[in-house]
């Protein structure tokens, strides 16, 4: 046989062994041991107690209420909008504006485009995180979502953390949810 064929056969056999050993461990790792091995003193095997099912008291634990998918969508869209629009720096060419125009109604997009940040040599910026949100009202055509945010403002003189609340208004435009307003308390 040629050397090349021998190498291919050897590699194939080695791969087959690796796969076989891997499969053996994958199949057998999920099977729990049913008993401890006998000790060297000749003691009998002891059984491992079976896992106990959840206690009836666990059914009394509070669970999160089910959320309507439409309400969840407008709540998440509001959070994305607020975080992207509220996070910017004076050195990123107003990317925060470009990020949210597509999420907005035409009228809101026109207002957003007036909110540019002037470029400067000394860094100034803000990072906004939604820490809580709640759907205040929801219908097939409009929604209002309350948002609580944490803003980390950074500048040449240092930084500060500010907390505030606001409301995001949404409207369904041609079957798609769009942000139509943002109002801070």
Contacts of 129 (CB under 8 A, 6+ apart): 83, 149, 150, 151, 152
Q: What is the CATH number of domain 69-184?
A: 3.10.450.230
Instruction: Give residue limits of the domains in the chain.
Output: 69-184
CB 132 within 8 A of CB 148: yes
**Per-residue pLDDT tens digits for 127-175:** 999 999 999 999 999 999 999 999 999 988 889 999 999 999 999 999 9
The least confident of 7-11, 33-37, 152-156 is 33-37
Average confidence (pLDDT) over 45-51: 55
Please tell me the pTM assigned to this model. 0.64
If DSSP codes are grouped into helix, strand and coil, which group holds residue 117? coil
Ordered alpha helix ranges (H), the chain = 3-28, 69-86, 95-101, 106-112
Q: 36: pLDDT confidence band, cut at 50, 70 and 90? A: very low
The least confident of 35-44, 77-86, 106-115, 133-142 is 35-44
């Amino acid at each position: 046989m040629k050397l090349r064929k021998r190498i291919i056969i050897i590699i194939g056999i080695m791969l087959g062994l690796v796969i076989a050993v891997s499969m053996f461990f994958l199949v057998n790792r999920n099977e729990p041991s049913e008993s401890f091995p006998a000790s060297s003193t000749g003691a009998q095997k002891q059984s491992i107690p079976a896992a106990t099912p959840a206690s009836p008291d666990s059914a009394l634990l509070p669970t999160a209420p089910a959320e309507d998918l439409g309400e969840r969508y407008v709540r998440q869209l509001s959070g994305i909008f607020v975080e992207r629009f509220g996070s910017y720096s004076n050195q990123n060419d107003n990317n925060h504006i470009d990020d949210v125009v597509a999420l907005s109604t035409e009228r809101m997009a026109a207002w957003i485009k007036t909110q540019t940040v002037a470029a400067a040599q000394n860094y100034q910026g803000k990072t906004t995180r939604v820490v809580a949100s709640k759907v205040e009202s929801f219908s097939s055509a409009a929604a209002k979502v309350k948002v609580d945010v944490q803003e980390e403002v950074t500048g040449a003189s240092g930084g500060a953390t500010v907390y505030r609340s606001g409301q995001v208004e949404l409207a369904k435009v041609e079957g798609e949810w769009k942000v139509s307003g943002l109002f801070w308390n």
